Structure 1
Amino acid sequence: MSEDMSIESYLAAGGILTNPSNVPPRYRAELMKLMATFVDSELAGAAGFADIINAGPGIKERISAAKIVLEKTDNADRVLRIMGEFGANTDKYANHHPWTARLDRDAPAGTERAEQDMRLAVFNYPLDGWVDAVVMNLLMGRAVAVQMGEFSMVSYQPLAEAFRAIAPVEARHAELAEEGVAKLAEGDNKAALQAAVGYWWPRVAGSFGSTSSIKADTLKAMGLRKSTNAELKARWEAETKAILEKFGLTAA
């Protein structure tokens, strides 16, 4: 960055930051929000999926579910360490929210549980058995894959590198879920699978945020976003609908 260039202009021109000491206040606030949302969502997602491990119909399925729980927790820790460089209390973070807490199953889509809890709203809803959990993991796994592609290009280099390491792990979770749906579709589970898609589709879609967000330009100028919420959501919808169609399932 040249001496006569502001940090805002530097970021808008595609510059990257590598150290907390170089980060301006507004950028720091948005970066911390991004990291906290990811960490809280991974911890809440892992906690919810942990409760479903023993519902797996076989040893292989239970091993896969346990692996997902372990890896999501590890992904959260990877990003939490970066938050620690900005002053977050990493020692107490894992216990500062009841990650297993959920709303009632019939709570309207988009309902938030706690103001201080930064998890995506989709992780406020309880899983309802193995079929339901596998479908949720497929839909959300595809959403995470789209989001990881976006987050892997953020302008804070240490976080971008962390997300690039996390991306293939999360992609494998979506693959395991697709394998699980394929196996379930071979049996007498069509109605249950379709019901689960109907329940989770609007809740996962909501994880992309408002399609009319007024912050998009600001985040783009900071190098924290490349695409709009609407573009990311449309990408997820197209890719995920194609997968569901293979199993005779339709999006809500």
Structure 2
Amino acid sequence: MTSNETLKERVQNGEQVEPSEDLPEEYKRAAQRMIQFHANSEIVGTLPEKQWIKKAPSLQRKRAISAKVQDEAGHAQVLYRTAETLGLKDREEMLNDLINGDSKYVTVFNYPTKTWADAAYIAMFIDGAAMFRQGSLTASSYAPYARGLRKICYEESFHVKHGEDIVRSLATGSKKEQQLMQDAIDRWYEPTLQFFGPRDHMSDHTDELFEWGLKLKSNDELRQEYLENFYVPKLEKYGLEVPDDKLSYDEDAERWNYKELDWDRFLEVSRGNGPVNDERLTDRREALENNDWVRRAAGVA
């Protein structure tokens, strides 16, 4: 049995591996791509909400969303450092990959946050989706990643509560506030379901990630769990409408049916052609350049 086959057998049995082990290059490349994607998503994910720190309607809201943005940046730090343990790239290389457009992040962050309700939606429903996605990875075969995710998921649970508090306030507020919240849901519904990634048969890397035990649930599985256990119940709880006349539960198949998502649009956005792709990368590039003096002063540049 080759070393690759031995490792695959171990991880298929639920074992986790450490960076001190002699890991196959194929495993390390797959883990690098997955963790770097996640780190990129966390740091770019600060941008849609950062603009609302100054615009939040009260000091309490400003403090809460400021703390949330800080947490997300911290998550990126944890994940970039975790990826470094694979020995393939350092953090600077990964950040350069991001701002040069050579590595990806979740497409949902390439849409604009037009209103305060959008900030509420992201905190509750996008972070809620992240909880399902990341929670499934706390048993991932790469032990440093699994450990880091336990801390991240703990903090994300507070982000969801923060978001739900704002959603509750808007959904039970004036007619104008209720409409503001519903408009946000209407615009974000499709990007939210696409947050979990393309349909299973469309993904180029799914089989590899499952073989190495890096991923434990498929995109479609996670989408179904999210609809069943979070998205639909929460919208119903606050009297908000699901903007999909085809959304229904199939009792026989035990699954949710929903309108066919625009996957061509999803792929276009993932290739860098979304509404605010350029703006997001410009913001990250400027942040890296403007804070270069800090890294030099700390002796890490």
1:74 maps to a residue whose letter is G
Counterpart contact for 1:11–1:155, Cα < 8 Å: yes
Shift of 1:126: 1.4
Asked if 1:162 is matched to 2:153, the reply is no
CA contact (8 A) 1:244 1:250 kept: yes
> SS of the counterpart of 1:36?
helix
Tell me, in whole angstroms, the C-alpha distance in 2 between the residues paired with 1:71 and 1:12: 33
Q: Which amino acid aligns with 1:18?
A: E
Q: Partner residue of 2:32?
A: 32
1:201 aligns with 2:201: no
Correspondences of 1:174-185 after superposition (within 5 Å): 174-185=160-171
Kindly state the Cα deviation for residue 136 of structure 1 after the two structures are TM-superposed.
Answer: 2.4
Q: Deviation of residue 167 (structure 1)?
A: 0.5
Q: Which moved more, 1:122-131 or 1:15-24?
A: 15-24
Gaps of 5+ in 1: 99-113
* Contact 2:8/2:213 (8 A) holds in 1: no
Number of residues of Structure 1 aligned to a counterpart in Structure 2: 237
- Aligned position for 1:66: 66
1:16 maps onto 2:4 in alignment: no
- The amino acid that maps onto 1:132 is D
Q: How much does 1:216 deviate?
A: 3.7
What amino acid is aligned across from residue 151 of structure 1 in structure 2?
L
Give TM-score scaled by structure 1 length: 0.86
**Closer, same or farther: CA 175–44 of 1 in aligned 2, 3 Å:** same
Measure, in 2, the Cα distance between the counterparts of 1:199 and 1:126.
10
Structure 1 counterpart of 2:238, one-letter code: F
Q: Matches of 1:47 and 1:219 in 2, distance apart?
A: 29
- Looking at structure 2, the residues matched to 227 and 65 of structure 1 have their Cα atoms a distance apart, in angstroms, of 31
Q: Percent identity?
A: 22
Aligned partner of 1:229: which letter? N
Instruction: Provide structure 2 residue ranges, at least 5 long, that are not aligned to the other structure.
Output: 244-301
User: Offset at 1:93?
Assistant: 4.5
Alignment-mate amino acid for residue 239 of structure 2: G
The verdict on how the C-alpha distance between 1:146 and 1:58 changes in structure 2, with shifts beyond 3 A counting, is: same
**Structure 1 residues 204 and 14, CA, compared in 2 at 3 Å: closer, same or farther?**
same
1:92 shift after superposition: 5.9
Contact 1:138 1:174 in 2 (8 A): yes
2:48 corresponding residue in structure 1 = 48
CA distance in 2, matches of 1:208, 1:42: 15
The answer on whether the counterparts of 1:136 and 1:196 sit within 8 Å (CA) in structure 2 is no
1:7-35 deviations in Å (ceiling 9; x for gaps): 22222232221016522122212211111
Cα distance, 1:57 vs structure 2: 0.6
Asked if structure 2 preserves the Cα contact closer than 8 Å seen for 1:241 and 1:250, the reply is no
Shift of 1:135: 1.3
Alignment check: 8 A CA contact 2:171 2:240 kept: no
Conservation of the 8 A alpha-carbon contact between 1:55 and 1:129: no
- Tell me, yes or no, if the aligned pair for 2:98 and 2:104 is still in contact at 8 Å: no
Alignment correspondent of 1:111:
none
